[in-house]
Amino acid sequence: MSDIFLFNKPFQVMSQFTDNDGRANLSDYIRIPKIYPAGRLDYDSEGLMILTGDGELQHQISHPRHKLAKTYWVQVDGEIDQNAIDSLKNGVQLNDGPTLPATAEKINEPDMLWPRTPPVRFRANIPTSWLSLTISEGRNRQVRRMTAAVGFPTLRLIRAQIGDWSIDNLAPGEHRTLSLGPEFIRYKSNKNNKPSINRRKPKAHTRRKYSP
């Protein structure tokens, strides 16, 4: 049996346990020894991170070869149009090559959205809009570069889901522990390098919160 830890990373928190520049980091919220992030999330992004003490599982969740889908809620500058949505779906050209096709749709502001500190800037003459974007790559600042490439710069970025795991019922700074049985936790790549997962329900879970 292995545990994973789902953490809702607040804005402007480093996705590591130490920082030489004194910025807020994971140790300000999580006091569990010998667990490590399975992938990172930018300092200026929010939302779901997965941590585990299982090195193999950490690799399988974070390695791009397994193409684990990640869904983001993205607030962009301007009223995004269908042409931009279609471009994101088909893949856009970035300076390090074209992106893979994505799942993209315009959405209303998410119901469970929390206030951000500091808030996103407001300009009365320029609207903002929201989209849901699901990608299976992990390039540096990829979502921000994708929306900029179609003419709608990202203002706020929240990772809502990784694979089957989401930030549902997790406030910023909270984490939830899932105890997973061996029949659940192993991602296996088939010959097309696509992940498969046994979708049995986790055996148990608890919820913890640390307030610094």
What are the pLDDT digits (tens) for 65-111?
666 899 999 999 999 999 999 999 999 999 999 999 999 999 999 99
pLDDT digits (tens, 9 = 90+) for 106-128: 999 999 999 998 899 877 778 99
Q: At 153, which amino acid appears?
A: P
Quote the percentage of the chain above a pLDDT of 90. Answer: 67
If asked whether residues 97 and 158 sit together in one domain, one would say yes
Q: Is the pLDDT of residue 5 over 60?
A: yes
Q: Which two tokens stand for residue 207?
A: 């919820």
CATH number, domain at 144? Answer: 3.30.70.1560
- Asked whether the whole model's pTM tops 0.75, one would answer yes
Which domain does 123 fall in, by range? 70-162
Give pLDDT, residue 1. 52
Q: Is the pLDDT of residue 209 over 80?
A: no
Of the listed 19, 28, 42, 81, which one is catalytic? 42
Of the listed ranges 73-77, 142-146, 157-161, 182-186, the least confidently predicted one is 182-186
Domain count, the chain: 2
Q: Are residues 155 and 82 in the same domain?
A: yes
168 — pLDDT class (breaks 50, 70, 90): very high
CA-CA distance, 78 to 99, in Å (whole number)?
A: 22
Residue 63 has pLDDT above 80, yes or no: no
**What pLDDT is stored for residue 25 in this prediction?**
97
Same structural domain for residues 34 and 105? no
- Determine the 3-state secondary structure of 80 from DSSP: coil
Does 60 share its domain with 138? no
Same domain, 104 and 53: no
**Segment among 103-107, 142-146, 195-199 with least mean pLDDT:** 195-199
**157 confidence band (pLDDT: 50, 70, 90):** very high
Considering only 121-125, 141-145, 150-154, which range has the smallest mean pLDDT? 121-125
**Helix or strand (DSSP H, E) at 88:** helix 82-90
Whether the per-residue pLDDT at 144 is higher than 80: the answer is yes
Exposure string (b/e) for 111-136, b if CB count within 10 Å is 16 or more? eeeeebeeeeeeeeeeebbbbbbebb
| 42 noted as active-site residue | yes
Mean pLDDT of 176-195: 55
pLDDT of amino acid 212? 42
**Residue spans of beta strands (DSSP E) within the chain:** 2-9, 36-37, 46-52, 70-77, 93-94, 97-98, 103-107, 128-135, 154-162, 165-166, 174-180, 188-189, 195-196, 204-209
Task: Kindly state whether residues 189 and 150 are assigned to the same domain.
Answer: no
Query: Are 210 and 182 within one domain?
Result: yes
**Do residues 106 and 144 share a domain?**
yes
Q: What's the CA gap between 170 and 167, in Å, rounded?
A: 5
Grade residue 153 by pLDDT with cuts at 50, 70 and 90: very high
